[in-house]
């Protein structure tokens, strides 16, 4: 009887659809013919955070996603994942 219960539980767990994580994740984007020093103005929808954080950009209109440029690709993450919750609130947002 225990074996039947164990098999039933196992088959239920394996048959259950996987739930996607609600936590936003990081992703990479290729710069396609450009590098960190020649990202076309406005075409990538990126704004440099400030002069002190070289190769770090805000993505989009808000200040929720930060991208780090590494040679010819961008690593973009939500700011809390990228810097951590203790540091991300200190980074100023230039939403222009």
Structural domain of 60: 23-83
Q: What is the pTM of this model?
A: 0.65
pLDDT less than 50: residues of the chain = 4, 6-10, 13, 16-17, 19
30 in a structural domain: yes
89 in a structural domain: no
**What total number of domains does the chain contain?**
1
36 in a structural domain: yes
Contact 72, 34 (CB under 8 A): yes
69 in a structural domain: yes
3 in a structural domain: no
- Condensed to tens digits (0 to 9), the pLDDT of residues 74-95 reads 899 998 888 777 776 677 786 6
15 in a structural domain: no
- Residue 2: what pLDDT? 57
Q: How far apart are CA 72 and CA 35, in angstroms?
A: 4
Structure tokens at 7: 């098999």
């Amino acid at each position: 009887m225990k074996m039947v219960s164990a098999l039933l539980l196992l088959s239920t767990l394996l048959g259950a659809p996987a739930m996607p994580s609600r936590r936003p994740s990081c992703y990479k984007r290729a710069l396609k013919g450009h590098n960190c020093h020649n990202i076309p103005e406005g075409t990538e929808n990126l704004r440099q955070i400030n002069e002190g954080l070289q190769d770090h950009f805000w993505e989009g209109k808000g200040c929720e996603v930060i991208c780090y440029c590494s040679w010819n690709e961008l690593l973009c993450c939500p700011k809390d994942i990228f810097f951590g919750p203790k540091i991300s609130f200190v980074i100023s947002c230039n939403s222009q």
